Amino acid sequence: MRRDQEIFDLIELEHKRQLKGMELIASENFVSDEVMQAMGSYLTNKYAEGYPGKRYYGGCQVVDQVETIAIERIKQLFGAEFANVQPHSGAQANQAVLLAVLKPGDTFMGLDLDQGGHLSHGSEVNTSGILYHHIGYTLNRETGRVDYDEMERLAREHKPKLIIGGGSAYSREWDYKRMRQIADEVGALLMVDMAHPAGLIAAGLLDNPVKYAHIVTTTTHKTLRGPRGGVILMGKDFENPWGLTTKKGVVKPMSMLLNSAVFPGNQGGPLEHVIAAKAVGFGENLLPSWKEYALQVKKNASVLAQALIDKGFSIVSGGTDNHSMLLDLRQKYPDLTGKVAETALVAADITANKNKVPYDERSAFQTSGLRLGTAAMTTRGCKEDMMLLCADLIDEVLADPENEQVIKRVREKVNETMKDYPLFAY
């Protein structure tokens, strides 16, 4: 018996929920035991405000080494010259970048939330949209892909100080080169948030935005398969374009502005136990076997997308280049909302999330879309045959989402099948 049995019982319940279900949430994954152990380690006891070698607390000699290893590993992984591994989350990494490069009221551009962007790219309910002036770019209605011509037109018109690329529900490769050209033309900085595809980029399966963008952010817990957290990277450090200087009159490099924006600008003490887990995760990303995993994630996503298309579902942009896809339910089931679809699937132990599709006439609480991703199922060792099964089961549930018999039958099949797959098979 533990002192807090209530919470540990709930942790075990969540463990069982994860084991028995099919996890298709595009932003989720399952971490290795070593990542988990680092997170639950003695490092959680340590305060370490500041950066390695320059802390505001004593006793940081060990965590300095941990944080330095995390920094060096992720720099190696993405070919970056600078990394800050302290952001507690992806949203906080983005918030820190905005704090470093914008003043309140400044204009910046990011993909609109209801077109697949993230909250922290300018949504009116997030600090990015509350403190700064956001101009949203969109997807082309016909192709479902980022409309770079529109992006260019908007950039010329609004002269943003920053353009953000990347999104949360976008299954296609980005044209970072074109975005950098647009940013250069209007004198903006380019930031790319690669949170979703970072694991595939690390494996060399998608273009690396670190080569093109001034600043890159990512979460560490999606396709990268590390602990929950954020990171800021730069391919090359550079002098800040506004001539901000130190007390000694030296022009501050962007690395200094970014570090100050994370701490003390945005956060207090770093989570060194999470940073240790990030280091362990980056170590896994650097192994030759990582490419094998990432390739399977991508393969699984194309097989799942094609199987759903074959069943008459529509996928925004017609397919996927990465781990994710956005089903537009309106083509096959015009009356079915994402909310009803999500609820029915969850009842069958298939976890996915409702999502607006571009130009959705339904609200964010209802939606006409369902977002799916294959990173988590791939970590469990699932291959193409399992993707075909997922498509069959999803189709069976969505054809009759209120039929409890169907849901029960599918749930039993899901639970029985997943018994053969450990949470972490790599």
| Catalytic residue status for 3 | no
CB of 56 to ligand PLP, least distance (A): 25
Q: Alpha carbon 345 to chain centroid distance?
A: 22
Judged by CB under 6 A, the residue of 167, 197, 226, 373 near ligand PLP is 167
The reply, when asked if residue 257 is annotated as ligand binding, is: no
Residue nearest to ligand PLP (CB): 90
Q: Tell me, yes or no, if 112 is annotated catalytic.
A: no
What phi and psi values does residue 190 have, to the nearest 5 degrees?
-110, 125
Q: How far apart are CA 242 and CA 208, in angstroms?
A: 27
Exactly one of 161, 172, 180, 222 is catalytic; name it.
222
413 is catalytic: no
Of 373 and 401, CB closest to ligand PLP: 373
Task: Count interface residues toward ligand PLP (CB under 6 A).
Answer: 14
Tell me: does residue 351 bind ligand PLP (CB under 6 A). no
Pick the catalytic residue: 219, 220, 223, 374? 219
Which one among 91, 113, 163, 261 touches ligand PLP, defined by CB under 6 A?
Answer: 91
* Among 21, 19, 317, residue whose Cα is nearest residue 143: 317
Retrieve residue 399's tokens: 């054809």
- Interface stretch with ligand PLP, choices 85-93, 197-205, 375-383, 384-392 (CB under 6 A): 85-93
b/e code 17-33 from CB counts within 10 Å (16+ = b): ebeebbbbbbbbbbbbe
Residues in the chain: 426
Q: Residue 320 has what DSSP assignment?
A: -
Q: Is 193 a catalytic residue?
A: yes
C-beta of 97 vs 304, nearer to ligand PLP: 97
Q: Which of 23, 114, 193, 321 is catalytic?
A: 193
Which of 32, 128, 138, 168 touches ligand PLP by CB under 6 A?
A: 168
Label residue 362 exposed, middle or buried (CB < 10 Å: 0-12, 13-18, 19+).
Answer: middle
Question: Is 49 in the active site?
Answer: yes
Question: Is 228 a known active-site residue?
Answer: yes
Give the shortest CB-347-to-ligand PLP separation in angstroms: 24
To the nearest whole angstrom, how small is the minimum distance from the Cβ of residue 97 to ligand PLP? 11
Q: Is 314 annotated as a binding residue?
A: no
Interactions with ligand PLP, residue window 191-250 (CB under 6 A): 193, 195-196, 219, 230
Known binding residue 398? Answer is no
Distance in angstroms (rounded) separating the CA atoms of residues 112 and 274: 31
166 contacts ligand PLP (rule: CB under 6 A): yes
Rounded distance between C-alpha atoms, residue 126 and residue 59, angstroms: 37
CA–CA distances in Å: residue 113 to residues 92, 161, 230, 348, 360: 17, 20, 20, 29, 12
Minimum CB distance to ligand PLP smaller for 89 or for 367: 89
> What is the residue whose two structure tokens read 């170590």?
283
d(CA 391, CA 221): 25
DSSP element (H, E) containing 19: helix 5-20
Residue 355 lies near ligand PLP (rule: CB under 6 A)? no
User: Which one-letter DSSP state was computed for residue 245?
Assistant: B
Which residue among the candidates 20, 28, 46, 49 is catalytic per the annotation? 49
CA dist., res. 187 & res. 180, Å (int): 10
> For binding to ligand PLP (CB under 6 A), which residues are involved?
27, 89-91, 118, 120, 166-168, 193, 195-196, 219, 230
Which residues are known catalytic residues?
47, 49, 193, 219, 222, 228
Residues annotated in the binding site for (6S)-5,6,7,8-tetrahydrofolate, as ranges?
113, 117-119, 363-365
